[in-house]
Structure 1
């Protein structure tokens, strides 16, 4: 007898596939940054389950069925992929709790959130704790040192951390792109030394989701096309005033994570095909603008949150276009 699929079981299956698709990216992060990634993941998952359980008990709703749908685990995993490894434990807990409370449960829970919870938690942490959020490691640590770094009040020396490639490019005033790539160890072949491989790993996971039809192609293609086009139009070669090549922007920061795992979020994102395409294009354009002229090194989170506000207008525009072309 075939299993009867309900909306809850479809959501649960989709969340399992999303978690599976994040594995290549998480493993790449672990390869480059070590145990800090695993500690962040455990802290995010534990905090997400604790917050979900507490809120559901206050609302007198069943706890286990909601936790089993996997949405909290997905938010925790996406936030883990965005946070700096080895950031203080209280920052990770605060970002996860704030993202779920203010981005999800304040509006009624699963299926009602107007903002992406993981990106809202990330953005709030970036605004409240900018120094810790830009404290990216130059290398990984063994487990004992990682636990000390995350949970001990005595932080590692600043020399242990390094600026990300997006931050280095944003504050650069004198070096050409070729000189930056040659002199700064954070730069790799096309983008960041680690981020280019991490982005390729999340790209592989995103293609898996497309192949399994968990997500549509419109939002990812829109974001990547928007980011590629604006970076190509604004690219002025390898001079000291260069903002980076299109390939640099595609393989730096959280580009592929945003394109395949963030802008495709079905609740806070657009739903109709045209609106999803426009949503992605807008996220790509805003990402470049924030990276280049904004005050933060990576603009994916803020770009997505701004586009979340535009979803009703995008849906109305898409519906009007559909009525115009209908026979």
Structure 2
């Protein structure tokens, strides 16, 4: 399979006030609508063959190619007990990702991609929606027919309690196929927390210390879990991605060198678990990163990017687990765009 391919030129964007696969070519005008890790990539330098993206200016990044154990001093997760680690097999070699093409904006994502909403195929009987300012601070659960189920948090009241569970502007949720729920709580509010809940909504472990240090968070904005028991958090305020063990909550590493220009706002894995799709709001781009196999987190490497028009502001991304379609929620343009893999 190859990378790249021309994106259909969309109509010009609307003016608006402020506030798996490889990705397609740069859009000329879309439609309206570091902390050290176990292998600190920030100390690496690019090599003649590409190497690590430790100096990720736009000019230095690859334009869409045509082919293609926690260290001492790390704050531990807060949890009642640490379940045993499970054994994991090494993954197969990475294949080249397929092309994507852009479809018309507003064509209707098959999964909810509204601001802070998630409906995951791995947990198909419930839709979860996070609510923020000014009367939110909750995670609401809905059945597919729209029935409101138990609400997590105190509606309209910000808080940091774990019993009963409270939030302050929860940013995003990720539901694992096991039914376990991961919440990043702190879209600019009092909290800066990563919380793991059991399927029956009991707190299993948490990281909640604000700061730039290892396992500390500042405006955690997105969370995803891969197939190798690793939790990936877009630590927006610190301009990095941090990685934790999904079973114990132990810190595994961090990536910062790919985010010198702009912070990661949203993080998702392609269905084959080979690539990480990251939205970067202020630079108006979607980056495709190579996901490391089992073992050491290693080095951050940008494979390709979609560069969007100015002021589009991609905020959240998600992928269809069957078709690999990519959906991008753009708060600047007030729309969602859909990118579809191309067959070669």
TM-score interval w.r.t. the shorter chain?
Answer: under 0.3
Higher relative contact order (CA 8 A, sep 6+): 2
When the two structures are superposed, what TM-score results if normalisation uses the length of structure 2?
Answer: 0.24
More strand by share: 2
When the two structures are superposed, what TM-score results if normalisation uses the length of structure 1?
Answer: 0.25
More helix by share: 1
